[in-house]
Amino acid sequence: MGIADDAVEIRARGWRTLAALHALIETELERELGATAGLSVVEYTVLDALNRQDGWHMRMQQLARAAALSPSATTRLVTRLEDRGLLTRVLCADDRRGIYTELTPAGLDLYEKAHPIHDEILERVLGEAADRPELAPVVHALQGVEAVA
């Protein structure tokens, strides 16, 4: 096997590892957040993204990017959360095509309840993953991720 073939195999293995770690974390978050806060992972992700905006609002598209969802899925996700009273749609004046969403007090409450649970799970699962030789390099790389510009 030549050098080029090695590179192919290394990439494929890296991708499998990434996918395995991602699935491990997501499955666990899904279970625990669902049981303790009644939130799915994407739902938590939306609340988290809105909260990190620090009281400011976000367009649907930004939300879609943050949650890695299609526009249609984002619409429905926001509708679900709105129906539960966790966020509100705000028609914004400067561009009446766009729609902003912001957390309600209830949404903030639930987020603040879910946040420590979210981190506990993350800490535990990342700790377990760090003990697996095939996952450890990626786990450690996550510590070195820079803040968003």
Partner DNA sequence: ACACAATCATTGCATACGCAATTAATCAGC
Partner DNA sequence: GCTGATTAATTGCGTATGCAATGATTGTGT
> Per rule CB under 7 A, is residue 42 in the interface with DNA?
yes
What six digits make up the tokens of 58?
């976000």
- Residue 25 beta carbon to DNA: minimum distance, rounded to whole angstroms: 13
- Of 9 and 95, nearer to its own copies (C-beta) is 9
44's CB contacts (< 8 A; 6+ apart) are 29, 33, 37, 111, 114, 118
- Of 95 and 128, nearer to its own copies (C-beta) is 128
- Residue 144 beta carbon to its own copies: minimum distance, rounded to whole angstroms: 5
- Of 93 and 137, nearer to DNA (C-beta) is 93
- Of 38 and 137, nearer to DNA (C-beta) is 38
What six digits make up the tokens of 60?
């649907």
Q: Are the C-beta atoms of 6 and 114 separated by less than 8 Å?
A: no
Q: Which of 96, 105, 131, 141 binds DNA (CB under 7 A)?
A: 96
Residue 63 exposure: Cα atoms within 13 Å on the Cβ side: 31
> Per rule CB under 7 A, is residue 83 in the interface with DNA?
no
**Cα torsion for 41, 46, 47, 48, to the nearest 10°?**
80
> Per rule CB under 7 A, is residue 84 in the interface with DNA?
no
CA-closest candidate to residue 27, choices 129, 147, 116, 96: 129
Beta strand pairing call for 58-59 and 87-91:
unpaired
- Of 5 and 94, nearer to its own copies (C-beta) is 5
> Per rule CB under 7 A, is residue 40 in the interface with DNA?
yes
Residue 142 binding: pick among its own copies, DNA, none (C-beta 5-8 Å cut-off by kind)? its own copies
Residue 66 and residue 49: Cα distance in Å, rounded? 7
Residue numbers of the site for DNA (CB under 7 A)?
30-31, 40, 42, 59-61, 68-80, 89, 95-99
